[in-house]
Amino acid sequence: MLTAEQIVAAQKANIETIFGLTQKAFEGVEKLVDLNVQATKAAMSESANNAQAMLSVKDAQELLTLQAALMQPLAEKTVAYSRHLYDIASGTSAEFTKAAEAQSADAQKKFMAVVDNAAKNAPAGSETAVTMMKSAVSAANNAMESVQKAVKQATEMAESNFNTVTSQATSAVKASAKKR
């Protein structure tokens, strides 16, 4: 049986985890706000510079050349912004995943301790029921580990695909700019 101290300790650990995750979420939002402020400042400055450059154009050919020259850095900055955004999101997500896995492992340990304690105090002849309970818990733990592995693999694959698409987009923009 769980004691009052164990329940209080579990509640305290849960509250600490919630506050820790809340802190990580705020840090992620703070990074996102900072990224957007920097991107906005840079965009405003570049817009002013580009407008000045457009006003100094003397003919249509020079305008086309200027436009082509402006497109590549814009595409590269968009890719860089997307990369930063992805890094912030994946970093924050990783913190939540790590905390969830730690909580899950701790809960599994505590539950197994309760099962073991119950098994010690179980009446004679209940060994089969205790064995079945432990087997069910073990199967559930294995299933959870399989799901966590699948999620990690899917995340790694998504990141790999994101990197590939980003690289291809950057290459396509550079190739397009060279043709002009």
| pLDDT 10s digits, 81-92 | 888 888 888 888
Query: Which pLDDT score, from 0 to 100, does residue 178 have?
Result: 65
Query: Which pLDDT score, from 0 to 100, does residue 67 have?
Result: 84
- pLDDT, tens only, 8-66: 887 888 788 888 888 888 898 999 999 999 999 998 999 899 889 888 989 988 888 88
**Following CA atoms 158, 164, 167, 170 in sequence, which dihedral angle do they give, to the nearest 10 degrees?**
-80
Distance CA 80, CA 167 (A): 11
Residue with the larger pLDDT of the pair 59 and 72: 59
- To the nearest 10 degrees (0 to 180), the angle between helices 4-55 and 60-121 is 180
Question: Which candidate, 144, 156, 152, 119, places its Cα nearest to that of 134?
Answer: 119
Distance CA 10, CA 19 (A): 14
Give the torsion sign (CA, 123, 126, 127, 130). negative
Query: Which pLDDT score, from 0 to 100, does residue 38 have?
Result: 93
Distance CA 106, CA 114 (A): 13
pTM: 0.59
Of 18-27, 66-75, 131-140, the poorest mean pLDDT is in 131-140
